[in-house]
Amino acid sequence: MGFYEKNILPKILNAVMKAPDLTDIRVQLVPEATGRILEVGIGSGLNLPFYEGDVKITGLDPSVELQVYAREVADSCGLDVEFISQSSEEIPCDNNSFDTVVMTWTLCSIPDPMRALEEIRRVLKPSGQLIFAEHGLSPEGNVAKWQSRINPLWKVIGGGCHLNRRMDRLINDSGFKFEVLAEGYIPGPKFATYNYRGIARPA
């Protein structure tokens, strides 16, 4: 990992991911999480203030730099979060061990998203839920064309973030069915703001 990824990108992500439009989505989705929860790509812990009730949270993320922020948020919320510094393509947890997996704006950055979703499905209980919010491929041809053009540069500055992943298809093809799926732009440049969010369950 280079100087940019270790020292600059975590600060940028922690600031950018606090955008009010993203917080609005966190406020809607995160309280739906129940029971034993795995947050995949917990980042700087920006979902933590929005969990409600009697929950037990495990946060997985390969970035130890972002984990420093997440630990501070957990402390300030009085949450006892178990942190795992690892990629989601190999989740070091038992089969059927979580009631909820939460994943927000993370699938775009995972090198092998199908593998990660298979792992998420493995560790989710059959009755469990995947709560997600992800940006991805726009259905507008002209925007999608620009997403593909910008993607190579975006991946470099965005820590491996892809602009043009078809998130609904990835989730569906990994053995999930949607209970709730909402799609659409949030405010901002169209190439980065087409969002897929909702709740999926093992099919």
Please identify, using beta-carbon distances, which residue of 86 and 127 lies nearer to ligand SAM.
86
Task: Please identify which residue in 51, 83, 105, 194 interacts with ligand SAM, judged by CB under 6 A.
Answer: 105
Report which residue type is found at 194.
Y
Percent helix, strand, coil in the chain (nearest 5)? 40, 25, 35
Considering the rule CB under 6 A, would residue 69 count as an interface residue with ligand SAM? no
The rounded distance, in Å, linking the Cα atoms of 136 and 107 is 9
Asked whether the beta carbons of 66 and 10 are under 8 A apart, the reply is yes
Q: Which residues in the 21-60 window bind ligand SAM by CB under 6 A? A: 40-41, 43, 46-47
Task: Please identify which residue in 25, 38, 73, 87 interacts with ligand SAM, judged by CB under 6 A.
Answer: 87
Minimum distance, C-beta of residue 16 to ligand SAM, in the bound complex (Å): 8
Closest CA to 189 of 126, 149, 138: 138
Judged by the rule CB under 6 A, the positions of this chain that interact with ligand SAM are 13, 17, 40-41, 43, 46-47, 61-63, 66, 87-89, 104-106, 109-111
